[in-house]
Amino acid sequence: MFIETVRKCVPSRNCWKRSYSWCATVSNLILTFPSRASCSGLDARGFLFGPSLAQRFGIGFVPVRKKGKLPGPTLSASYSLEYGQASVELQSDVVQANQKVVIVDDLLATGGTLSAACELLKKVGADILECLVVIEIKALNGIKKLNSVPVHSLVEY
């Protein structure tokens, strides 16, 4: 059963032979992904996981990118880094009010990027179901910045 799930995670049936770890990671994310939700991925490594999940479920993918990378009208949110400030953007017309969204990224460390993505999606009226991350670094307490948004991580350090 698990191998069949892994094989279905990407279009190429041979993928699992070449990158079993990648497919297993996506499959584990699939097992936790709520049904009937859009998928939002964070620039740039969230773009590796998000489209794979969106394709598997036949749902839309909503990119949250670094400032200045998206076309058309955008909304922006800033967050603090150890060494300064950074911003992410979301196209203002890609999410409808009350649309259910799951945010996907590779890492939850200090929580700045995920928190900014949540802020942007809430600005456009999205209903954020949860954040899915591959790795969470517990000692940095990034989950506190996400307030009441549930977080599911595959690996915790």
Q: Which of 18, 45, 65, 136 is catalytic?
A: 45
Residues 6+ apart with CB under 8 A from 42: 64, 88, 103, 104, 105, 113, 114, 117
Annotation says 36 is catalytic: no
Annotation says 13 is catalytic: no
Q: Which of 82, 89, 130, 156 is catalytic?
A: 82
Pairwise CA distance, residues 36 & 99, whole Å: 9
CA max distance for the chain? 47
Q: The tokens 């995920």 sit on which residue?
A: 114
Residues with catalytic roles: 45, 82
